[in-house]
Structure 1
Amino acid sequence: MQKLIGCLIVAFLFQGKVFSQEKLVSSGDLPILAWYSIPAAETSLARYQEMKEAGISFQVNNYSNIEELLKAMDIASKAGIRIVASCPELKSDPEGTVRRLMKHPALAGYHLMDEPGLSAFAELGNWARKIQSIDNKHFCYVNLFPNIADSSQLGTKSYLEYVNESVKQIPVSFLSFDYYPVLKDRLSLSWYENLEQISQAATRAGKPFWAFALTTNYDEDHLTPQTLAAIRLQVYSDLAYGAQGIQYFTYWSATSLNAPSSEDQRGAPISAAGKRTVVYDRVKAMSGEIKALSGVFLGSKPVWVRHMGRGRIPNGTIRLTALPQGIKVLETAGAPALVSLLEKGDNYYLVIVNKDFLKSMDLTIYGDDSLQKILKDGTIVPASAYEPSMEVDPGDAAIYRIPKTKQ
């Protein structure tokens, strides 16, 4: 029998019914940025291709001079990696440095400062405006403290004041903050509150935000956050809150990059010796999921985010009390879950995240005939093709599509 060629619709048989399968369509891929990426001394096409194979599209490093940076950019462009530029000349001669970098195909943007306090905001704002007066096509990047920073670090009485002042004073294209919530056997208590704060601030400012996933060890409490379940929990929670960029900290072991002695940063995707660890393959798998699901998350905006499960929900969050139209039952047998309704185009997407990175979650969900399930490879199938009760792996997410006509 001749093989059929050019089939546009793949079908499968389920209980006597034939369902068509379609794939998510996306205008692009969600940015995935690596912090502490390839050291200048290791700059080579093979290294950048290795990074690309891990699904990473952007990287940031602190280069000792512009020549090191330009060498890395020349190589990175051949592998399809873009660089957020950072070198001393960007601060000492911003106008001249921007003119040298702005037309390079590997340029993603300009890294100004990590975790500034309020006292640095005015200078950062002036610096960003100098850059933007010459190049307004590439972003300026500032990464903010998490809400566990104290007032002496923030320079303000409250975290919300700190975030709001950064929006007022620093003209960046998107907000960015870091928080590494996965500890040995628990989550940090204020992480979800921080996601609420940043997501709401970004919405008020009319800007997107980027968030982090920890992919290395760095102190006694963060010894095993690099499991796939822990990485998934961070990434899917970030995306459920509307994050438009995911950042891995770190890619290369920062121990080899003169990291502070108080941070023992080992267990990154690439070790201090330059060898892949098991985390490299986990990051690669996570990046593949992000890319396949860009049709859900890229350009989507949260309508609401809720929490469910027995016991208290995180401070600053709201408990789920009502289901979106089209959903008849949503239960987790008391297990902690994050539930987000995202809006994009003609559809809503319901994202349900298992907030336990150590245990599976029993999820029961069913709705009307319009409800569709999104598979990890971006395939869309009727939810009715699956049993209404299923197991969600630790830290993983179940995703469904609801046509707007049902809302």
Structure 2
Amino acid sequence: MAECGITLHLMHGSGTPEATVKMLDAAEQCGIRVLVNDHRVWSDPEGLAASFSNHKALYGYHITDEPTAADFPKLAKAMAGIRKADPNHPAYINLFPSFARGLGTKTYDEYVRRFVKEVQPPFLSYDQYPIVAKGKEGRESPSLRPFFYDNIEQCRRIAQENNLDLWAFCLTTPHYWPAKGTGYPPPTEGHLRLQIYTDLAYGARAVQYFTYWTPGKGAEAGIVYYDGPIDADGKRTKTFDLLKPINAEIKKLAPLLLSLRVTAVAHADPLPQGTKGLSAEIPLTAIKGDCCVSLATRKGERYLWVVSRSFDREQNVTLTLGNGIERLEEVDRGNGETLKLTPTEATRDIVVPLAPGDGRLFRIIGR
């Protein structure tokens, strides 16, 4: 797990306290931290904190995944109990994606806002797996869900309004529903890059992977999982090899990313559902290409993300820089490529090459 570049383990299943301590000990040796899962989160937060709060590998406490609005009162109680028992380690709850049914609210926006108000989480986490496919094993004609960007737009907006960090997801384990003839295809490098770099361009502070270890047969009725980074027999797969270098890029960028605040996001035409075009805040006058851009700032510095919306096609994106921008200098992510782009005097255009799904981060030089 550490070799793949993963730094945080989300524990599923509640073991004995003794077994959890052994897992924490092993994680510490590998430089990994853990969100522990323990049933005492509901009934004995003080005892839970006493068991683990002093362990160096503890990141926090896993409460639940994908609750409905009917669950919010008991989640608020659990969250408050953990916060009081151990104010130094956060409690984790992850929300449904926007297409889910049975949320217990009229809209997804209401679902997320009520969760934030009633449960008072330390950050906002949600999942959305945007690349879907048809066919018997969910491999045919992969496509991007039309509401993918709308979902992250909503969650980013609500997180910012409430001064919360955003946590998002990337699907690493393909799976399908044999009875439905639909599923999530095996991830390509482009699939992974599009999800990860879109999350980062929208300001996500954590990118989570579903899953690292492939669930075994019968893990969920009617679903077949296969070829996650580690398969059900404990062997590395092609997905591991695809994910490892991308995680190395993120690690290289991480110190800068954690100091940046994304202040605006814009998309090129045609605008995906729920998105907006350029605003005055972003120092561009035009975008040509299948991409999105975002502006991030820190201590007087400005940075520009450029991220592909195509997971299977290389492209050259043309950006027209506003007056006063001298050039864009790419931030080194350790992959041997760093561009310095100066616009032509006549058109103010620059061209950004993008591999499938890829994102590139530039420092803006000039006013």
Distance 1:252 1:306, change over 3 A: same
2:122 to 173, 176, 183: 173
The 5 Å alignment of 1:4-83 reads 51-62=1-12, 63-83=14-34
Give the CA deviation at 1:295. 3.9
CA distance in 2, matches of 1:163, 1:269: 30
Distance 1:307 1:329, change over 3 A: closer
Deviations 1:185-221 (A, max 9, x none): 2111111101010000001111111000000112254
CA distance in 2, matches of 1:341, 1:282: 28
- Does 2:354 align with 1:400? no
Q: Could you say which residue in structure 1 is the equivalent of 2:156?
A: 199
Work out whether residues 17 and 51 of structure 2, in 8 Å CA contact, stay in contact via their aligned partners in 1: no
**Matched position secondary structure for 1:130:** helix
Q: Could you say which residue in structure 2 is the equivalent of 1:281?
A: 241
- Does 2:325 align with 1:363? no
The 5 Å alignment of 1:109-120 reads 109-120=60-71
**Matched position secondary structure for 1:255:** coil
Deviations 1:296-348 (A, max 9, x none): 42232222111113x4x2221112366843x576432xxx2111111222211
Distance 1:221 1:358, change over 3 A: farther
Q: What amino acid sits opposite 1:54 in the alignment?
A: C
**Matched position secondary structure for 1:53:** coil
Q: What amino acid sits opposite 1:196 in the alignment?
A: E
Bigger mean CA offset, 290-299 vs 392-401: 290-299
- Does 2:53 align with 1:102? yes
Q: Could you say which residue in structure 2 is the equivalent of 1:264?
A: 224
CA distance in 2, matches of 1:296, 1:262: 43
**Matched position secondary structure for 1:110:** strand
More strand by share: 2
The 5 Å alignment of 1:181-330 reads 181-184=130-133, 185-219=142-176, 221-255=182-216, 259-309=219-269, 311=270, 313-320=271-278, 324-325=282-283, 327=284, 330=287
Work out whether residues 372 and 402 of structure 1, in 8 Å CA contact, stay in contact via their aligned partners in 2: yes
Q: Any stretches of 5+ residues in structure 1 without a counterpart?
A: 1-50
- Does 2:306 align with 1:352? yes
Deviations 1:255-288 (A, max 9, x none): 26x5212221211000001000011111111211
Work out whether residues 226 and 267 of structure 1, in 8 Å CA contact, stay in contact via their aligned partners in 2: no
Distance 1:166 1:328, change over 3 A: closer
**Matched position secondary structure for 1:315:** coil
Give the CA deviation at 1:400. 1.4
Work out whether residues 208 and 244 of structure 1, in 8 Å CA contact, stay in contact via their aligned partners in 2: yes
CA distance in 2, matches of 1:345, 1:178: 31
The TM-score normalised by the length of structure 1 is: 0.80
Q: What amino acid sits opposite 1:274 in the alignment?
A: G
CA distance in 2, matches of 1:133, 1:322: 44
Deviations 1:22-63 (A, max 9, x none): xxxxxxxxxxxxxxxxxxxxxxxxxxxxx1111111001223
Bigger mean CA offset, 226-235 vs 343-352: 343-352
- Does 2:292 align with 1:338? yes
Distance 1:137 1:242, change over 3 A: same
Q: What amino acid sits opposite 1:53 in the alignment?
A: E
Give the CA deviation at 1:399. 2.0
Work out whether residues 366 and 383 of structure 1, in 8 Å CA contact, stay in contact via their aligned partners in 2: no
CA distance in 2, matches of 1:121, 1:322: 39
Bigger mean CA offset, 381-390 vs 201-210: 381-390
Q: What amino acid sits opposite 1:240 in the alignment?
A: A
Q: What amino acid sits opposite 2:11 in the alignment?
A: N
The 5 Å alignment of 1:120-139 reads 120-139=71-90
Q: Any stretches of 5+ residues in structure 2 without a counterpart?
A: 134-141
Q: Could you say which residue in structure 2 is the equivalent of 1:89?
A: 40
Aligned identity (percent) is 34
CA distance in 2, matches of 1:205, 1:389: 36
CA distance in 2, matches of 1:116, 1:176: 12
Highest RCO, 1 vs 2 (Cα 8 Å, sep ≥ 6):
1
**Matched position secondary structure for 1:369:** strand
**Matched position secondary structure for 1:198:** helix
**Matched position secondary structure for 2:294:** strand
Distance 1:121 1:275, change over 3 A: same
Give the CA deviation at 1:124. 0.8
**Matched position secondary structure for 1:314:** coil
CA distance in 2, matches of 1:306, 1:88: 43
Give the CA deviation at 1:366. 6.3
Work out whether residues 65 and 88 of structure 1, in 8 Å CA contact, stay in contact via their aligned partners in 2: no
